[in-house]
Homo-oligomer: A and B are copies of this chain.
Amino acid sequence: MVKTTTIHREKTPCQLCPLRRLPHFREFSREELSFVADFKKGELVVDPGATIFLEGAHSAHLFTILSGWGFRYKTLEDGRRQILNYVMPGDLVGLQGSIMGEMQHSTEALSPVSLCVFERTELMALYNKHPSLAFDLTWIAAREERILDEHLLSIGRRSALERAAYLLAYLHQRAKALHLFDGSNVIPITQQHIADTLGLSIVHTNKTLKKLSERGLIRWQERGCDVLNSKGLAALAEWDGLDGGRRPFI
């Protein structure tokens, strides 16, 4: 199948944004909302496997994920790939590039992904006119930093089993807060993605996931991982979980 990219003009008005109804996100003032609605230039829809950003790009846009799953990654010259983090609805994509000039990682869609499109050139206006939203941008960057801290701890110091447990608990918790599951709890990734996130080979990843299955914590399904016992995974990894408070998004 050919990977397509479709741009639409203004499909979902921000005032009716389905994400804003989730208790996971903080409430916005009318002024904030109208600014963001103006900031938004349109929507982009990409197929699974499509590249949203490529390392080295100087993009004129940044995005907020409206629906779908994706991931950020870097590669070494010989092809070794490290997945840095996953992106889900409400996540800002491309802030690093917008703030600092050049993208130093790539971003790829895991599922069909729709994105709200913003213009990088209008970012300064946000800082000038809406300090509260400017604060939110820093908040979002600080949150990403915090998550990366935990990932570093995981890759650096946890065993393969603990790492896998942490990752799946992490993804489950995030997706659950976003009401991304419809009964099934299935995370839409391949074992190759998990391997490249954990810094493990695919073979050892497979054997590690099997151990988690044998303990009744997960079940591997067609197209992804079904989390059966999220708390058990977190306990195995000695992971406290994410901050449960409400968070902003642009």
Contacts and interface: CB of A to CB of B under 8 A. Distances in A.
A10 interface: no
| Copies of this subunit | 2
Give the contact-size bracket for chain A: 35 or more
A104 B146 contact: yes
Given A76-B158, A80-B157, A243 B100 contact: yes
Contact of A99 (B82, B102, B142, B158): B142
Given A149-B74, A150-B74, A199-B155, A142 B243 contact: no
A168 B143 CA distance: 27
Interface in A27-56: none
A7 interface: no
Interface string A103-137: 01100000000000000000010011001101101
6 contacts: A84-B149, A100-B139, A100-B142, A104-B146, A131-B131, A155-B155
